[in-house]
Amino acid sequence: MTVYEVGPRDGLQNESSTVPVQVKVEFIDRLADAGLTVIEATSFVHPKWVPQLADAEELLELLRQRPGVRYPVLVPNERGLDRALARGIAEIAIFGSATETFAQRNLNRSIDESLAMFAPVVARARAEGVTVRAYVSMCFGDPWEGHVPVEQVADVGRRLLDLGCSQLSLGDTIGVATPGHVTALLAEFARRGTGVDTLAVHFHDTYGQALANTLAALQAGITTVDSSAGGLGGCPYAKSATGNLATEDLVWMLDGLGIDTGVDLTRLVETSRWMADRLGRPSSSNVVRALSSD
């Protein structure tokens, strides 16, 4: 079971106040100390679009690399890949959309145009020995288009995998998924011959369904789940969105299922409380709140 920690990138990218790079580095170090082995560190998106992550190069310069810990970064295009290769990054992620409206709003391109943009990124990365992950947004619902058919998601997902991506993370960007929908989407991928070993899930907890959705994914054979320490993050397209699935809540459930993640929950909770203090607000993780009140 792999807990794919996205807090330092996806969790912090929408923070309105700038988080000092030293705090980000310590956050990542603390997460590694807690036993997390995959920590998405930052993004090489242009600083104009994501000012919070404008310090990507500085962060990576300061970050202490550890054996056995992976630090992937997000890249949007070939320029982002150039920056990643210059830093010797071994693992990157690209981000697409299952819907045309979000592709236009987030990437300023159609789905076809975005895939055409990603093709040379993936090809060059693989030629350099860099592993490529693909995120797909709006897999379960879109604020403009509404319900997203599972066939539509599988079409886009298969095209990304066919480019050469090694893993596809299915994102519930606005947090509207339910367990039945998760099961149906994974079944559609299976029908097309896509094994669960190439899929991951990425849930938001807008309607309190993130853990239930995760359990449905686990029952379908998924072994990689994205989460964010303290439930950091959110979606600007859903006013009620409460953020990503909290890593603490995920680990608590997995521990209860007898699944060993290698994560020290006590240290993880301490890390999220520390980060919450720096952000000036309490953690949104139920487990952090419960254990902090003991």
List the catalytic residues: 235
The answer to whether the Cα torsion of 220, 36, 203, 44 is positive or negative is: negative
**Phi/psi zone of residue 246: left (φ > 0), alpha (ψ -120 to 50 degrees), beta?**
beta
Closest CA to 206 of 169, 237, 176: 176
Structure tokens at 174: 């606005």
- How far, in Å, CA of 69 to CA of 181, rounded? 33
Round to whole Å and give the CA distance between 133 and 167. 5
Chain-centroid distance, C-alpha 123 = 22
**At 174, phi and psi to the nearest 5?**
-110, 10
The C-alpha atoms of residue 33 and residue 50 are separated, in whole angstroms, by 27
Helix (H, G, I), strand (E, B) or coil at 22: helix
Q: What is the number of alpha carbons within 13 Å of residue 147 lying toward its C-beta?
A: 7
Cα 148 from Cα 99, distance rounded (Å): 8
**Contact, 201 vs 179, CB < 8 A?**
no
Token pair 């350099």 is found at 128
Residue carrying structure tokens 């094994």: 195
> For residue 31, which of 275, 253, 271 has the smallest C-alpha distance?
271
